[in-house]
Every structure is written in structure tokens, then in C-alpha cells.
Chain A
Amino acid sequence: MKTCLIVDDSRVVRKVAARIIQDLKFNVTEAGDGAEALTACRTEMPDAVLLDWNMPVMNGLDFLRALRREEGGKKPLVVFCSIENDAEHISEAIRSGADEFIMKPFDADILESKFAEVGLV
């Protein structure tokens, strides 16, 4: 089974996302900020990361840049997920190594469609 790490400082968002992604047949783990997520990735690289932008301690963008420099850090497909959805934010996320971008709020159909775009489902 593929694995997906959900990184978001909102427990509610993580819970909603986890339920949807489990339905897409993933093993799901969670992290509350970028630093926690990086620790988790050092233990085991997931196949996919659903990544929030604004978080305390380490934000999504800093996590993503750090992840891509880690050994094996190019492997996970990263789907950024943010309420910041203007062209500049989107292109900054893509430049920093995101594979897809979801504009919040999202629903199950959007998550599935975006996972399909990068070949995860």
C-alpha cells in the first residue's frame, strides 16, 4: 500500500484529508508542522505528501525546500495545499519542488483529481 504524509497544523483538516486519502487506498501518517514532517520523512520517505503552506515552527515552503535536499527527498510526490492561490504563490510552490497544487477549500473529488494528475491513483 502507498503511503501519504499529511502536513497541516489544523487537526480538523488533517482528519478530513486523512479520511479521503485512506479511501484512495493509502496508509496515512500525520504531522502538525514542517519540522515534524521532516523528522517523519527522515525515518521513512512517504510516496506522497499533502502539504499546507502556513504553519508554525516550519512552514510548508521551507519544509519542501529542505525535503528536496534530503537523501531520497526527490521521491515523494508533493501536493501543496493552500488558501494562498494567486499566481505568484502557486508558481513559487512549483519552483520549490511541488508536483501539484490544491487551492483550499477542497473536497474528495478535488483531492482525487489532483492525485490522479500526478499519477498517484
Chain B
Amino acid sequence: MQDAVFNELADLALKGSGQAIPKSKAYLIEARLAAIARREGFGSMDDLVHCLKSRANPVFAAEVAAALVSKDTSFFRERDTLKRIVEDVLPQRLKASNTGRLKIWFAGGSTGQEAYSLAIELEDELPAALRGAKIEVLSTDICKVSSERARIGCYGHYEVQKGLSIHRLTKHFTRLETGQWEVSEALKARVSFRQHNLLESAAGLGKFDVIVCRNVLSGMARPAKTRVIENLAAQLVPGGMILLGQGEGLIGLTDKLEPARDFRGAWVAAGTANAAASAA
């Protein structure tokens, strides 16, 4: 890929989704844009960039930027965190909130596996403390195609064999004629999906008790990380928590959040960590 073409696309990714794509990963650009290029009939990345520059089409530009974001995900990825959410975080939040309702948001949830994994865990391993609680799960992704795939809830041979035991697969999925596996209606009823760009305000999505944002910030440029994390922080209910992926931290990125005292890897509004600990 020519430097000029790479620079155009890397710049588009940075502005559109906050992604910082280093030159050493130019191959990712070609791989992630292949489907769009094929659909639009572009013979090369040059043609695609030429089209982006010559016809100012913000919808197409946003689609290209969304396609450049990693879609890597799997069922029960970082399953210890998921278990902790169900066994510790949610019961604690439920006790503190007093409403009998909990709202959880998977920010950057790709094709829905994380949200469905939580729904499975809630079906199979619901702790007594959560019985009777109304638990709403939302998953959003910048990519419209991914959000749509998540909503449809059909997964391929390889996807359903990573992270799911055969017991869970046969219990919660139905095999289709096509060889794909479809999530049960019971799980679908627990989860909703929307397209949303984390660089934008999430005020329209409402407030959440728990926000899970894993493996999203790590690919972003520094200013974008701050913007995203502050957008997320603005949607926390008082005492609410943000959970990041393994090895992801916020040190030096924002003064709006601080580490939760009793949950490693969780963040709460600045100045409230001690209060949250004593409430628990």
C-alpha cells in the first residue's frame, strides 16, 4: 500500500473511530476493508480512497471507519470477569440501587458474543441475590453490520466452538439448515443491540449500573481514549462501575474516574471509591 493511501485511511480511522493504526499494521486495513471494496467494485485501496476524497459522503466514510475497527471477540472471553460481574458486581449494585433493576452496557460489543455470554451466565448460574431482579443488557458497536449480526444472533461453526461447552451450545442454540447456530429466543429477549460510536455522547442510551468496555480502548489514540472514557463515565448511575479488559488501565487518561477498591480492574466516579467500598 502506498504511503499516501495508508495515510488517508489511517486518518479516516483516527477521526471516525479514534483508532490508531500504525504503519506496521497496514495489512489490517486491506483485510478489514476487503468486503466493502468488493461490494463497491473497487479494484484496489487506491480506488477506494479516490472515491472517499472525490465524493464527500459522510455515511460511506463512517462505514469505512467502522469497518477498520477490530471485530475480535468470542463467547466467554475473559470468563473470570464475567463470573465476577454476575457473582459480585451485580448483587452489590442491586443492593445499593434499591430499585430492583439493573442496566448493563457492553460498549464496543462487536457481534454480540460478550452480551450473550452474560445472558447465558444469568440463565445458568443466577445467584440467589439476583433472583427477581430486572436485568437489562445492552450491547453497542460502531459497526452497523456487527450490530445487525448480533441482533440476528446466528453464529458459525468456528465461533460457537470457542468458549462454549457443548452443553451450553445445545442448551442455548439451535442448529440451522445452513450449519449456523442461532441463539435461543430466551437469550435474545434478555439483550438488545444498537449501533453507537463511542466518540459521541451516549446520553441517548440512558444511565447504567455497570459498563463493560473491553479491548476497545487499547487500539485507540490517547485523546480518543480520554473522550470515550469520559463519555462512558457520564452514563454511570451514582455508584456505578466501569470494567475494562485485562491489562487495560486509565492512569493519566482522566481525572473523572478512580479504581474501585473492592473490584480489581473496575473504575468508579472519582471521589467515590471509599464510599462504594463501605456501602458493600
Contacts and interface: CB of A to CB of B under 8 A. Distances in A.
Interface size class of B (residues with CB under 8 A): 10 to 19
B173 to A, nearest CB: 10
Contacts of B170: 87, 90-91
B45 to A, nearest CB: 29
B175 A113 contact: no
Interface in A46-104: 85-87, 90-91, 94, 100-103
B161 interface: yes
Given A90-B170, A103-B157, A85 B162 contact: no
Contacts, number: 30
B27 interface: no
B162 A113 contact: yes
Contact of A87 (B158, B162, B165, B175): B175
Contacts of B158: 107, 109-110
Nearest to B174: A87
Contact of A86 (B163, B167, B175): B175
Contacts of A117: 165-166
Interface in B161-193: 161-163, 165-167, 170, 175
Size class of A's contact patch?
10 to 19
Contacts of A109: 158, 162
B175 to A, nearest CB: 6
A114 B161 contact: yes
Interface string B224-262: 000000000000000000000000000000000000000
Contacts of A87: 170, 175
User: Which of B157, B161, B167, B175 has the most chain A CB atoms inside 10 A of its CB?
Assistant: B161
A113 B158 CA distance: 11
Nearest to A104: B157
A113 B157 CA distance: 13
Contacts of A105: 157
Given A91-B170, A107-B158, A110-B158, A100 B165 contact: yes
B161 A113 contact: yes
B161 A106 contact: yes
Contacts of B161: 102-103, 106, 110, 113-114
A101 B166 CA distance: 6
16 contacts: A86-B175, A87-B170, A90-B166, A90-B170, A91-B170, A94-B167, A100-B165, A101-B166, A103-B161, A105-B157, A106-B161, A107-B158, A109-B158, A113-B162, A113-B163, A117-B165
Interface of A: 85-87, 90-91, 94, 100-103, 105-107, 109-110, 113-114, 117
Ranked nearest first, the 6 interchain pairs of A and B with the lowest CB-CB distance are A101-B166, A110-B161, A117-B165, A113-B162, A100-B166, A109-B162
